[in-house]
Structure 1
Amino acid sequence: MDSERYIFEAEWFDKVACVVKKFLLYYYVSDNSVELYDLKTKKTFLRRTKCEGVEEKDFYVGALITIFSRSMRLINFADCNTKTKLSSKAQKTLAIIMPDIIDKMGEILKKIAAQDLHIGNIKMVNFTKDSAIEFYKGKSGSDLSRTINYVISGPIVAIELLGEDCVARWQELTGPNDSSEAREKAPSSIRACYGKDFVQNAVYGSADVKSADKELKFFFPDPKCERKGFKNTATFEDCTCCIIKPHALQSRLTGHIVDDIQKAGYLITAIQLFHVDPINVEEFLEVYKGVLPDYGAIVAELQSGPCITMEIKHKDKTVNVPVEFRKLCGPMDPEIAKHVRPDTLRAKYGKTRVQNAVHCSDLPEDGLLEVEYFFKILDES
């Protein structure tokens, strides 16, 4: 039924004209079709057409939707009906993975995906004592000083989660605040599995929608506001770069990929979600221009939506990280990988030579350079 129609304000960067174009994007649930109306020319840009590769769950404010190779960012609801229908589905909350279970990040991200919750943003950061006191100011807790010491003991991972009734569902997934109580009342919850007690309880979640909005701005401030965000945790030493490509992120494979990396003995010492614009994508991948026949398609894939970039190190400092990590990623073509290296990331999670789940540094000397490109040049915090 056409009554099931969502309308969003959307933006698309036209790299030929080097301008941002604004549209009304109509999405029809009944047949998975889309229509685009150009707000400047006041003309239909794309007549209603069925669009493969997108589903109803992909449409929410902040999402990047690929419409026939064009990466459209949904920036707002365009009518009251869409806002009313999707407000609960577009609910956000803050999740924090605490310092003592960073090595279980992949397992926790898998649990998040299993609950049909989406990662809207993610960044590994370090609390300072002052920032921790500011964050926990006014929050209930029997031992604030112990909590502060806990959260500043190492890096934490702050995550913006999106989904229907997201606040309540994340709270249910985390379990009671006291890990001992969680083991009794919710034995499969995150705090039951990973927490130690009331303070060292593995994860944090916002109490309600209002708190979530405030806390998300604390970690992920609007670029237009004066407040600077947290610095990333990249070390720029003995490392290589890994990028979870947009298609894998959209397919909610992040947890599986991160878990495989961690279980293979690697350390993730920085992780962050990036929206890489077309100019930066071409600059980053320029080394492959004229070398790979799929260059144009690879560029289009990396700019088609958000990606997650990681600095990768190894527990064993004698390991040549760029060389050995490339072996874990496997051959570029997932079909070849499935035959010769079936346990590699691309064999397990890749679809094609272009949508092959992850990018990794090809040459040992490129590992540090690629980490620096993302965490020094592109990170604006």
Structure 2
Amino acid sequence: MHHVGVDWGHARMQVYDYFDKYTFLCEMYDVDADEILELVLNYFPFDNSVQVLHPRRGKILLKRVQLPTLKIEMLQVGNVVNIFSKLLQITDCTPATNKILFNNVQSTFALIKPIPPGMHGKIITFIMNKGFRIVRMKNGKISKDFAMALYSSIAGNNMMPIIIDYVTSGEVIGLELVAPNAVEKWRDCLGATDPKLAAPGTLRALYGNNTLKNIAHGCKSEAEAKQTLDAFFGYEKGLPKIPFRATYKNCTCCVIKPHALIDGNVGAILEQISTSDKFYISAMAMFTIRVCDAEEFYEIYKDVLPEYESMCIHLAEGKCIALEVKCNDPTLNVVCEFRKLCGPRDPDLGRQLYPNCIRALYGKDIIHNAVHCTDLPEDGELEVEYFFKLLANE
């Protein structure tokens, strides 16, 4: 949805800034009228209820009603929220709401250095448990120029050539982390450069080996973070500055669904895949999907599954993470084998038959079943291409 400026003074005909509610400006596409409606969403944390207003028409579109599925973490500018199957994109909030919910909120760049893939899930879980919101994420391989810019603050240090060689030697994961005072907070969470000197409970104290292999990197200022985020996630002449790692060969597609991100289960899912004997993740990236994209991606289920519409809505109501997954044994059919790890579509059935499968452990119901995985052996490469070629270049 495009952003449309709104006169908040006009909106306040119906909306007042009380401390017992948070107020957001939203846009919703009205299919019947073929227009974008500018709406106001009030969220009442006391009883987890919502109200939707159409201020320009002076109408209450939804009277205040409890919505247990909506969590306050979902209410972020730019996010899409599902209000009884109507998708509203949050475009702004009132100054009072901003002051309470988003005071001093910043973005910072985090780089997970070349480490064994089995550790990625633990690192992601650590990050989310510390209260960071991951808004962008992808794996990649950085150039020496990128690495030198990243470590420009230690130019002239004897260790710099060794550090540059190390961080460019293998796969890294870049993340945009959002939190109050995110730049300082992330550096505090990292701990001292030398893991032996890092405070107990910090990332480097928990998982670091030495000054070189100390797990992750953090920026020192908001300006540096902004510049590095653009260098890692930005595009130049329509192409990503850091190419996606997808190979589109002998692979299957796994999509970690929005509810799994909100529930903080991304790290655990990544760890389960990466530590299995059969599989490894060759590419990962975070995407925001529109309903029309979800409908296209799920098209083969349109007249097959009664949950088709709900599946599309859920995939579009928050960020998701797409993975290209491969088998360590190339003679195995990766699509069929990976479906076993994911388990049945219905998590309840999975809990009865395969209690250790991904959907049994992290799924809630058929719609919110933690992950999508490719069903048909011939569709693995096509589904990976849909994310890493089509959506990635839009």
> Is the TM value for this pair above 0.5?
yes
Greater shift, 360-369 or 59-68, is seen at 59-68
Query: Tell me, what secondary structure is at the counterpart of 1:162?
Result: strand
**Cα displacement string for residues 227-253 of structure 1 (whole angstroms, at most 9, x for unaligned residues):** 954321111122110001111111111
* Structure-2 residue corresponding to 1:85: 100
Query: Tell me, what secondary structure is at the counterpart of 2:26?
Result: strand
Greater shift, 358-367 or 288-297, is seen at 288-297
* Structure-1 residue corresponding to 2:45: 29
Give the RMSD, CA atoms, in angstroms.
2.7
Query: Tell me, what secondary structure is at the counterpart of 2:89?
Result: strand
Q: How does 1:334-345 map to 2 (within 5 A)?
A: 334-345=347-358
* Structure-2 residue corresponding to 1:152: 168
Q: Is the 8 A contact 2:359 2:370 kept in 1?
A: yes
* Structure-1 residue corresponding to 2:392: 379
The alignment covers a number of residue pairs equal to 376
Identity score, percent: 35
Q: Which amino acid aligns with 2:244?
A: N
Q: Which amino acid aligns with 1:69?
A: S
1:171 Cα deviation after fit = 2.4
Query: Tell me, what secondary structure is at the counterpart of 1:72?
Result: strand
1:286 aligns with 2:299: yes
Query: Which residue, 250, 270, 289 being the options, matches 1:238?
Result: 250
Partner Cα distance (1:141, 1:159) in 2: 27
Q: Is the 8 A contact 1:248 1:349 kept in 2?
A: yes
Query: Tell me, what secondary structure is at the counterpart of 1:108?
Result: helix
* Structure-2 residue corresponding to 1:255: 267
Greater shift, 320-329 or 23-32, is seen at 23-32
1:129 Cα deviation after fit = 2.1
Partner Cα distance (1:329, 1:17) in 2: 40
Q: Is the 8 A contact 1:71 1:305 kept in 2?
A: no
- Cα distance, 1:281–1:40 mapped onto 2, change above 3 Å: farther
Greater shift, 225-234 or 90-99, is seen at 225-234
1:14 Cα deviation after fit = 4.0
Partner Cα distance (2:268, 2:294) in 1: 25
- Cα distance, 1:321–1:225 mapped onto 2, change above 3 Å: closer
1:39 Cα deviation after fit = 6.1
Q: Is the 8 A contact 1:93 1:209 kept in 2?
A: yes
- Cα distance, 1:378–1:39 mapped onto 2, change above 3 Å: farther
Partner Cα distance (1:294, 1:333) in 2: 12
Query: Which residue, 273, 276, 289 being the options, matches 1:264?
Result: 276
Partner Cα distance (2:44, 2:315) in 1: 27
Partner Cα distance (2:191, 2:344) in 1: 41
Query: Which residue, 96, 102, 113 being the options, matches 2:111?
Result: 96
Query: Which residue, 333, 350, 353 being the options, matches 2:363?
Result: 350
Partner Cα distance (1:269, 1:240) in 2: 10
TM-score (norm 2): 0.86
- Cα distance, 1:134–1:22 mapped onto 2, change above 3 Å: farther
Greater shift, 17-26 or 338-347, is seen at 17-26
Partner Cα distance (1:352, 1:253) in 2: 15
Query: Which residue, 116, 121, 125 being the options, matches 2:136?
Result: 121
Query: Tell me, what secondary structure is at the counterpart of 1:298?
Result: helix
* Structure-1 residue corresponding to 2:25: 9
1:24 Cα deviation after fit = 3.0
Q: Which runs of 5 or more structure 2 residues have no equivalent in the other structure? A: 1-16
Q: Is the 8 A contact 1:275 1:306 kept in 2?
A: yes
**Cα displacement string for residues 281-337 of structure 1 (whole angstroms, at most 9, x for unaligned residues):** 111111112111222221222122211110001333333211111100001111111
1:161 aligns with 2:174: no
1:33 Cα deviation after fit = 2.7
Q: Which amino acid aligns with 1:24?
A: V
Query: Tell me, what secondary structure is at the counterpart of 1:91?
Result: strand
1:58 aligns with 2:106: no
**Cα displacement string for residues 1-60 of structure 1 (whole angstroms, at most 9, x for unaligned residues):** 942332233233445555543333332333323333346656443343332212333323
Q: Is the 8 A contact 2:188 2:202 kept in 1?
A: yes
Q: Is the 8 A contact 1:118 1:252 kept in 2?
A: no
- Cα distance, 1:20–1:258 mapped onto 2, change above 3 Å: farther
Q: Which amino acid aligns with 2:126?
A: K
Partner Cα distance (1:240, 1:344) in 2: 17
* Structure-1 residue corresponding to 2:339: 326
1:69 aligns with 2:85: yes
